[in-house]
Structure 1
Amino acid sequence: MTVVSGVRVVAGDRVIDNGFVRIEGEHIAEVGEGGPATDGAVVVPGFVDIHVHGGGGATFTTGDADEARKAAAYHLGHGTTTMLASLVTSPPALMLAATRAFAPLVAEGVLAGIHFEGPYLSQARCGAQNPAFLRDPSLEELESLIGAGEGAVRLVTVAPELPGALEAIRLLVSRGVVAAIGHTDATYEETLAGVEAGATVGTHVFNGMRPPHHRQPGPVFALLGASGVVCEFVADGIHLHDGTLAFAASVTGPARAALITDAMAAAGMPDGTYELGGQSVDVAGGVARLTRDGAIAGSTLTMDKAFRRAVGAGLSLTAASRMASTTPAGAIGLGSDRGTLQAGARADLLVLDEELNVRRVMRAGAWVS
């Protein structure tokens, strides 16, 4: 048994000032109040990142299992106790090989699943996705990937305006895979058609989308206003202005807002030249941009930085915690076990200092070195 006590505990919608968390085995046994506060430490649920391409110099995008382990370990050190491995638009053979390579890591628990960000995306809004490999949705390809993953494929991003996209969304939902809308030039109506077909996540909302206009609201307004959609936000001050983040979160509420990193291999590494989906990326001042056209190419963010940024933008501790943990866990079907501090949940928690820097990380009841 382990007891973390004398801390402020952020548990759901409340902050317990003199709180404790009692852990038995891999799970939380009790969360409560009692004992004097010690040194201002704050305990929050482990972060859940449902959109991340790599970090610490390693990438998920090549389908290399050793690289995936390194990237997962890097983000674990920054408090991400649950993550999806996000793959970018790639040739069919690479996507299939990566799925087979990562399925054992999902079974082992290193990863919570695989996220395909593409290849069924808009040419006009492809951002840092490789346009050479974009293609219209294929039900046959999706069936092949889902089958190869044996339960590992958890999230797929689709542009709903493409031919066959609505059928693809319906197929994904029928197979227990979460469908997301992103990298899209869709109209407001086309976006809502994707939601009606079953999409429940908006991929890094505002970014890689037709920009909102008061006469042509497009996907941003549609996703922010859709009651059943969780909207991802990259809280790095680059993808979104802090005022935009605060406004968007006020529209969705923390129950429909998920902080993500969209991090690439350069996270935690020096400025320089890196690779993403077969394309060269230049990182300067911690900002990643495609060499060929300067488009934003993911980020160098970690979830602890995103959490602090959200609080700095004016969000409460409870709201930021839900956005960094509870809501993304629920968005991918893990809400009863991850992203929360309550009895019966897996014991994933972080001890933060007064400035909300990560001091200690616990995953499945064990402290991470």
Structure 2
Amino acid sequence: MTDAARTPPHRTNRPPQVPAHLPTQVLAGRVVTPTSVLDDGVVVVQGDRIAWVGERNRATAAGYDVTDLAPAEPGTTLVPGLVDLHDHGGGGASFPDATSAEEVLVAAREHLRHGTTSLVASLVTAPRQVLLERVATLADVAGTGDLVGIHLEGPFLSRARCGAQNPHDMLDGDPVLVREIAAAARGHLRTMTVAPEVRGVVGPGGVIETLVEVGALPSIGHTDATTEQTEAAIAAALAALAAAGRPGARLTATHLFNGMRPLHHRDPGPIAACLAAAARGQMVVELVADGTHLAHGTVRSVVGLVGAHVDADGHVAGPDAVALVTDAMAAAGMADGTYELGPVRVAVADGVARLADGGSIAGGTSHLLDVVREAVAAGVGLVDAVRAASWTPAVVLGLEDVGGLVTGRRADVVRTDADLRVQQVLRAGADVGGAAD
């Protein structure tokens, strides 16, 4: 196995300063930082970096003349470029079905113009050769920076909790296949969803240990496991990460609640184990908080239970154990109709995707900014919702130069209106338009 297969890419450190001679853009409005909201804030962009973030009335003292800067339109809000850990496509294109870089880029650009500047492309369970071919195609696009990684949702999943996937292609744990996938990914394999109860997933030399070996993170999902089986898988993953010199890394739970044995007080199953691990700071749980996959009360409760952290000043802020995701499929940004998600057909009606055969929910049709807006409507604070869609997933991926409006980070900035509807997107300081374009 090559070093590229072992080491995830794009883990860059924040530069110590931003050269002052680069072209400057000054953006104003309500600024959402990782820990607070600046009601009359300014973001200064120089080149491809954020040079300064702060209240407008402090800009002059920081060396930036904003006297001629027009007041922002009422309600204008600036948030960081969003980071989606779990996305199967959009704009009519599906990552599990894409056979060319051009098809992959259709989906990536659909989400980019809606504010997702760092995107992980997700595949679904498929035959071995199809998986290897799709991974290789996605790796080509990740190599250009248009994706930040690859996530496999399968094939080592529970047939009893297959969701919108083909149970006939699900396999027992196969470390050889994991290594083949990592080699095809050429260093871009980020995460893989596995079910703890599937044979060969947990144990010496199993899938979880092999994923850590190749530089990826295990994610618990599509599982009918007991609490004890899930706890054992979490412990095995944490031990493997520590042995690999990654003791601070946290595994994830793939769209918590969805595709899992339901929580019951006499049979708590995987959900209880995942929530407990998240509360201990060992796991980040994904929530598809799009108003379809989860009730508002569920979203509020999870963020309240496991989301808070204490910052350096002793203040409670931000959901560091929750990542908002889209689980989007090809229909994101498209009209109702029939779409493909790997080997299954999906019917979309009134914006809700369901299997054409059986009616189960089959992925999302939202962009990540839509999910943030829905989470806020559910009662999650604006800072918390934005952080869960930017800072926290960036930390999961080990990306240190994106995920927040912070001096020195890459200038990924999304300008929205008061209702968090996108108006402009900057990626590395370059204007890539917005949803209205």
Confirm whether residue 211 of structure 1 aligns to residue 262 of structure 2.
yes
Measure, in 1, the Cα distance between the counterparts of 2:268 and 2:26.
48
Corresponding position of 1:365:
429
In the TM superposition, what is the alpha-carbon distance from 1:25 to its structure 2 partner?
1.7
1:161-184 C-alpha deviation (Å, 9 max, x unpaired): 111112211111122101100000
In the TM superposition, what is the alpha-carbon distance from 1:330 to its structure 2 partner?
1.1
Give the RMSD, CA atoms, in angstroms.
1.2
SS at match of 1:51: strand
SS at match of 2:293: coil
Q: TM-score, normalised by structure 1?
A: 0.97
Kept in 2, the 8 Å contact 1:43–1:351? The answer is: yes
Measure, in 2, the Cα distance between the counterparts of 1:220 and 1:37.
47
Confirm whether residue 58 of structure 1 aligns to residue 112 of structure 2.
no
Q: Counterparts in 2 of 1:9-24, with a 5 A limit?
A: 9-24=31-46
In the TM superposition, what is the alpha-carbon distance from 1:14 to its structure 2 partner?
1.2
Q: 2:188 aligns with which of 152, 177, 182?
A: 152
In the TM superposition, what is the alpha-carbon distance from 1:135 to its structure 2 partner?
0.6
Q: Counterparts in 2 of 1:187-226, with a 5 A limit?
A: 187-198=226-237, 200-226=251-277
Q: Counterparts in 2 of 1:115-264, with a 5 A limit?
A: 115-166=151-202, 167-198=206-237, 200-226=251-277, 227=280, 228-253=282-307, 254-264=319-329
Q: 1:102 aligns with which of 111, 125, 138?
A: 138
Q: TM-score, normalised by structure 2?
A: 0.82
SS at match of 1:28: strand
Corresponding position of 2:123:
87
1:193-244 C-alpha deviation (Å, 9 max, x unpaired): 1111226100000000000011111111111111210000011111100111
Kept in 2, the 8 Å contact 1:89–1:133? The answer is: yes
SS at match of 2:96: coil
Corresponding position of 2:13:
none
Kept in 1, the 8 Å contact 2:28–2:43? The answer is: no
In the TM superposition, what is the alpha-carbon distance from 1:277 to its structure 2 partner?
1.4
Measure, in 2, the Cα distance between the counterparts of 1:353 and 1:205.
30
Q: Which amino acid aligns with 2:417?
A: D
Q: Which runs of 5+ in 2 are unaligned?
A: 1-22, 58-69, 239-250, 308-318
Q: Which amino acid aligns with 1:273?
A: T
Measure, in 1, the Cα distance between the counterparts of 2:305 and 2:165.
29
Measure, in 2, the Cα distance between the counterparts of 1:337 and 1:149.
22
Corresponding position of 2:371:
306
Q: Which amino acid aligns with 2:120?
A: L
Corresponding position of 1:278:
343
Kept in 2, the 8 Å contact 1:3–1:20? The answer is: no
Counting matched residue pairs gives 368
In the TM superposition, what is the alpha-carbon distance from 1:2 to its structure 2 partner?
2.8
Measure, in 1, the Cα distance between the counterparts of 2:329 and 2:33.
30
Moved more, 28-37 or 65-74: 28-37
Kept in 2, the 8 Å contact 1:17–1:37? The answer is: no
In the TM superposition, what is the alpha-carbon distance from 1:5 to its structure 2 partner?
3.4
Which is higher, the Rg of structure 1 or of structure 2?
Answer: 2
Q: 2:404 aligns with which of 340, 343, 351?
A: 340
Kept in 2, the 8 Å contact 1:54–1:265? The answer is: yes
Kept in 1, the 8 Å contact 2:189–2:215? The answer is: no
Q: Percent identity?
A: 49
